[in-house]
Structure formats: C-alpha cells, structure tokens
Structure 1
Amino acid sequence: RLLNAELAHRMKNVLAMIGAVANQTFRSASSLDEAQVTFGERVAALGEAHTILTQSSWSGAPIRAVIEGALAPHRIAAGRVLLSGPALELGAKQSLTLALAINELATNAIKYGALSGEGGQVAISWRIGSPESEELFAFGWSESGGPPVNAPARKGFGSRLLERVVALDFQGRVSLDYRQEGLRYALETTMSAIANAEPVHAN
C-alpha cells in the first residue's frame, strides 16, 4: 500500500506539471499548430525523464541520461552537441525540470541559434566544486558557430522556465546571456540542492 501511495503521489505531481505546461504553452502560442508542436516536444522531454526515473523507482536519475533523453526527440546530428561532466545523480524534481530546460534550449538553438544551420555546435558541461566551495555544482549550455542571437522581444514560457523555474527547483542562480557569438546559459547551485531526491520505499 505504501508503494502504491508513493506511486500515486508521483503520478499526481507529473500530471500537475503536464497540466501547467499545457496551460502555459497554449496561452502563449501564436497559433494552435505551433502550440500542438511545442506541447508535444515538452511532453516528450518529460516522458523521457519519467522513463529514466521509473527505472530507479524515482530515487534519482543520471544527469547525462536526462540530457540525452531530452535531446533525443530533436534528432540532432551526431557531433553537433558535445557533453562533458562527471557522473552524478539528480533528484526527481530536478531531473524533470532539467529535461524541460534542455528541450527549451535545444528548440531555441534549432530555430534561431547554433543548430539552425550547418557548422554550429552546442557544448553542454557540468562540474562539481571550485576553489571556493567543494559543494558547488555548475551547469552550462554554450552555443558557437551559429548566427548572431538577440534577446526575444517578449518573454514566453521558455524564458520563464529557464530563468525562474530552474532557479527555484535547483535553489540556485541562473544567467541567460544572448551574446553575438552564441547563447550562453548557466546554473550555479549546491550539490545538496540537486540531489534532494524523495525515494519510493517498497514495503
């Protein structure tokens, strides 16, 4: 019974997240067709993260697997996205949030950034510790080789997710920098903040 209750709680949270994503997507889209495509991509990213979390009974997910799962639906050519960082596990909430964030960044890169033409690349990196703190966790998304990028005229759900939701769920600081040479996105937080998983206990 305890296991079923935990699983029901997880499913309720996921459905609430999907409902919120649907609401924001259809409210901010310029057309129904655009909303359907965007919503499908966001749900696919959540679905990949959900599959990974299910394999560990929602105790956590490897960060590399979460990133690769979120990128998979976009069918990006090999060599265009480079990943580097140590093996580590994210908590369940952080896994879902990062999956959504990676989907937003990838969508933006494909439409307007480094992945919109030939030759551009994206470097995704994460690291643990710094001279100032062993507890530091830093994540970065860096684009190069694409067209010049500019900040959007208005901020939609994607921008709010990257700037507010990620900062809240990871209890950290984020920066979104629209440089001429390519978009830069960075997150800094603590190791304890990325791993506050709530495991499902079997009786």
Structure 2
Amino acid sequence: MKRRFRSRLPAVLSARASALSGAFDASPVRALTAGVLITVLFFFWAGWALWSSNVALVRIGRDDLRIEQLGGTIVHLDEVLTMSARMAAATGDPQWEQRYRIFEPELEAAIAAAMSLAPESVIESGATRTDRANKALVALENRAFHLVQRGDTEGAVRVLSSDTYAAQKKSYAAGVDETMRAIRRRIETDLSAQSRVLLGLLVAAALSLSLLLLAWFAVLRLLRRHLATLRRAQDELDHRVNNTLAAVQSIADLTVAASSSLDEFDETFRGRLSALARMHSAMKNNDWSALGLHELVELSIGPYHGNGERVSISGEAVEIELASLRSVGLSLHELATNAAKYGALSTVSGTVDVSWRVDAGVEGRRLHLTWTESDGPPVAESRRCGFGSRFIEQTVPYELGGDVRLSFPETGVRC
C-alpha cells in the first residue's frame, strides 16, 4: 500500500509544478512575443525605408548621368547636322546629305529622351519652342539640299547663312538649354527632397530604436521578475511538498500505531489522505491563498453529513492561513470521521453543531471553535483515547499554539 502511494506522488507533484509554472509563464511569454514582433517590424520598416531611399537615390543619379550624356549628344549631333548641311552647300557633294540623313534620327531620339526626363511645365513651353525651331531648321536645311541637287550651291549657302536660319538656330539652342536646365533643377529638387527624407528616416529610426531599447529593457525586467517569482514558487512548492510528505509520514505512523489490522489501516489511512487531498485541491482552486473557515468545515464534514440538515455551521467570516489550514482541516476531519463511525452522525437522529467566534485579547485576536454532538448514541469509554483524540490534543497546541478542551459526555462529544 505504501508503494502504491509513493508511485503516485511524483505524478501529483509534477502536476502541481506544471500548474504553478503555467500560472507565471503567460505574461512573460506575451511580453517576449510582443518584443520580438516589434523588433521584427522595426527592422522590416527600417530595411524597407533604406531600400526605398536607395532606389530613389539610384534613380536620381541615373537621371543626372543620363541628362549629362544626352546634353552632350544633342550638342554634338546638332553640330554634325549643321556642318553636314553647310558642307553639302559648299561642295555640292551628295555624301554630306547622306551623312545628314544618318544622324538626323539620332538627334530626334536624343531630344525625345531628354523630354521624357523633363517636368510637364517644361515640356509644354521649352519642348514647343524647340520643336518649332527644329522644324524650321529642318525645312531650311532640306531646302538647301534641294538647291544643291539642282546645282545651285550658292543659293544653298545663302539659305544656310541667312538671318532666318541663324535666328532659328538660336531659338533651337535656347529651347534645348532651357529644357536641360529645368531637368537639372528637377534633379536637384528631388535630391534635396530625398535628403530631407533620409534625415527624417534617421531621426525616426533613432527615436524608434530608443523606444525599442526601452521596450526590451522593460521585457528583460519582466523576465527577471518572472524568474525570481518562479524560483520563489519552486521554493514554496518544495516547502509544501516537504510539509505534505512529513504530514503523510506522521499520519501513516500514527495510523499504524492505532490500527489493529491491515484492513483497518487501509480504510483509515485512505480517508485521511483523501481529506488531505481535498484540502490541497481547495487551496489550489483558491490560488494558494487563505481559505474561509466555513468552507473548510464543509470540506471536512462534507462526505458525512448528507443533505446538511443534521449539521449546523455558524460563525463570522474567518480566513485560515495556509500554514494552519492542514492542521485545522485534519482535526475537523478526525472529529467528523469519529462522529460518522461512532457518534452523532452514525444515527439518523444525531446532530452536530460547529460554531466559532473571534475574541480580541492582549495577545491579539484568537479563534474559539466549538464542536458539539447531540442526540447520538451514548459515548463509549473506548472512544476517549483513540487516534483522533491524540492527534487533536497534540496538533492544536504544538502546531497552532492553541488550547484543546476535549470532553466525552454521554450526550455526545464536545471539543
């Protein structure tokens, strides 16, 4: 029987340890999860912001390099076309017209690429001006080529040397220059805006990092408190287990001494262990805090008093601390077991009255609890010195610091 009890004890202790650990694990786990989530979100936001800023800077740099290349290309091709037209007019050689026709599409493509980088306002003004001048220049140059084809090179030279041609060249150059300046201003504006964005990102990142560090500091403090609480809970669990094992050992020793047979020992010992288990369950359900005396009395008498009409329980609200709960509960259990076997609760007419009061004295408040049995069978002489009597008379003075007055009148036990 002892081996069976010991084999179940590790499982019981493991279950209690798991319950205590679970009670303290929820809050730190949530805090740690929140900290990790906030950290991941922060680095995701910081990475996305840096990537977006880098993309914008790369685009600005690419546009700047592209506009420099396009500006040089447009100036070069414009000179190539002008020189080709003038050389054709001066020499009458058709190869210069062929050269003109080769580079003409390249100039148009370069101008179109530059316009794609320009703001809308510049496209509406500068592009119109450049396009008008370009069309006029192309018309004059085509007229010069037509005169060359007819053999009138002098007429072609006059066309390309005219004030009209020079004015259109000037207008064309001014339009291209205006477009290029506008594009560069837009690039500078974008670069300045991106610099402000980067500065804002750095400030936001610094503030966010500071808040993140504070959050992690709070999480670490919570974890330290949790670990300290868990250590205290484990120490408390060890203390309770040791006390419980000592109580079980004491109950077993006293039960063996008072039992005349193995069957009697088995029945009595099981009853006392059940009472101890009920008290532990009540303490666990009450979050290991003090238990009301009324609840403790009902817990101890519960298995014996049926529908409750034969047991009267009265008294003011009193809380029994954990250190005293087991001794008070087992004492009540012994009285209830004795009443159920031999006393008032062993007959249909017997009654039990449990009452208490709290008196304030010089040494502090003291609890006075009275157990009175009535209308039961006459008290036998053999009931005066049983295990229950010895347990109560030893436990109350030594563990509770109280006094016991246990009497056995024929009308029923009074304690």
Task: Give the TM-score normalised by the residue count of structure 1.
Answer: 0.83
Report the CA distance between 1:43 and its aligned residue.
0.8
Report the CA distance between 1:130 and its aligned residue.
6.5
User: Is residue 2:259 matched to residue 1:29?
Assistant: yes
Match of 1:18 in 2: 248
Separation in 1 of the partners of 2:400 and 2:385? 21
Report the CA distance between 1:152 and its aligned residue.
2.6
Report the CA distance between 1:75 and its aligned residue.
5.4
Corresponding letter in the other structure for 2:285: Q
Match of 2:298 in 1: 68
User: Is residue 2:342 matched to residue 1:105?
Assistant: no
Separation in 2 of the partners of 1:169 and 1:104? 16
User: Is residue 2:280 matched to residue 1:50?
Assistant: yes
Partner-residue secondary structure (3-state), 1:177: coil
Separation in 1 of the partners of 2:282 and 2:248? 17
Residue 59 (structure 1) aligned to one of 289, 309, 333: 289
Match of 1:90 in 2: 320
Q: How many residues align?
A: 185
1:71-102, Cα deviation, whole Å (9 max, x unpaired): 22335342111100111111213211111111
Alignment of 1:1-203 (within 5 A): 1-74=231-304, 76-129=306-359, 135-152=365-382, 155-185=385-415
Task: Please say which structure displays the higher CA radius of gyration.
Answer: 2
Contact preservation (8 Å) 1:150, 1:179: no
Report the CA distance between 1:142 and its aligned residue.
0.2
Corresponding letter in the other structure for 1:124: V
Contact preservation (8 Å) 1:128, 1:134: no
Contact preservation (8 Å) 2:338, 2:388: no
Report the CA distance between 1:182 and its aligned residue.
1.1
Contact preservation (8 Å) 2:343, 2:376: yes
Between 1 and 2, higher relative CO (CA 8 Å, sep ≥ 6) is seen in: 1
> Gapped runs of 5+ residues in structure 2?
1-230
Separation in 2 of the partners of 1:110 and 1:152? 16
Decide which moves more: 8-17 or 147-156: 147-156
1:132-183, Cα deviation, whole Å (9 max, x unpaired): 9872320000001111113437734311111121222221111111011111
Corresponding letter in the other structure for 1:183: V
Query: Does the C-alpha gap of structure 1 residues 180 and 128 become closer, same or farther in structure 2, counting only changes over 3 Å?
Result: same
**Greater share of strand residues, 1 or 2?**
1
Separation in 1 of the partners of 2:328 and 2:306? 18
> Gapped runs of 5+ residues in structure 1?
186-203
Corresponding letter in the other structure for 1:136: R
**Greater share of helix residues, 1 or 2?**
2
Corresponding letter in the other structure for 1:61: L
Separation in 1 of the partners of 2:276 and 2:347? 27
Task: Give the TM-score normalised by the residue count of structure 2.
Answer: 0.42
Contact preservation (8 Å) 1:25, 1:38: yes
1:9-46, Cα deviation, whole Å (9 max, x unpaired): 11111111111111211232011111111111111111
